[in-house]
Structure 1
């Protein structure tokens, strides 16, 4: 049902306007309930056998509004962490959880860097980086992420669905995408 919601014209219109689509559960109860559920899901992701949550951004990147929570997941065994000259680079899988509906997108592996005095860098969600299949050396981890999302009835959307065009009059306020806007832009947008 969530995949149908992802392309429903009324739901997309609501998403572009940052309104919950009246979905069941937390999404029917308001933003505070959704935030609580997403925190619970992130905690569940952090309990996966082979993976841990390296970072989860609930604060809208410190400014503006993000229609999603940005989660960065890495291998629990530490094999994806490297430290040198006071900097730590962590390779992992970026995952975004929509605040607007029980939807998510998973991206190709990326690297987050952190250094002295809180300096660091991270990538932003981008449609062209969405992954549809398990990537080499991430197969088991991909399966575990799917299991957690399925347990919480969160639909992991693929690039085919996310690439579908939005109706021309739907224009999400976002710095992540440009016209012509796509389904991705409705569910996963950010404006600083």
Structure 2
């Protein structure tokens, strides 16, 4: 049986976008973000975080900080009975300060590598899945990956999902 998923961008979609966020103490949830994740959990969708993290390539923080913020997010979500099922991130950038991360890759959004990996791992049916993000790159990634794109432009993230995600068994 194929799964359905909602892919979430992080910065500017789930949290207030401060450049190169890498510490839980600097994380500020977007209005309705935790509730949006619970909404998709409760409706049988996988909730998957997909995020570009060029701060790693620029040498601002190590990859372990990306995982640490994700773990903190899940701990906070657990307080309301919600969770993210997986984290996929791109640490690369074509102009990276650190040579090991300096490359053009298939995982940096709007490329679809992060989505492709998650779909392969979880058996996700793209025709029943969504990508929620705040940027044109996110919407292009959704289109290229065969997902329905939902652009977050402010207000309650949960309300955006309630208005746009079909909640039957699909």
What's the TM-score, normalizing by structure 2? 0.26
Q: TM-score, normalised by structure 1?
A: 0.24
More strand by share: 1
Q: Which has the higher helix share?
A: 2
Larger relative contact order (CA 8 Å, sep ≥ 6): 2
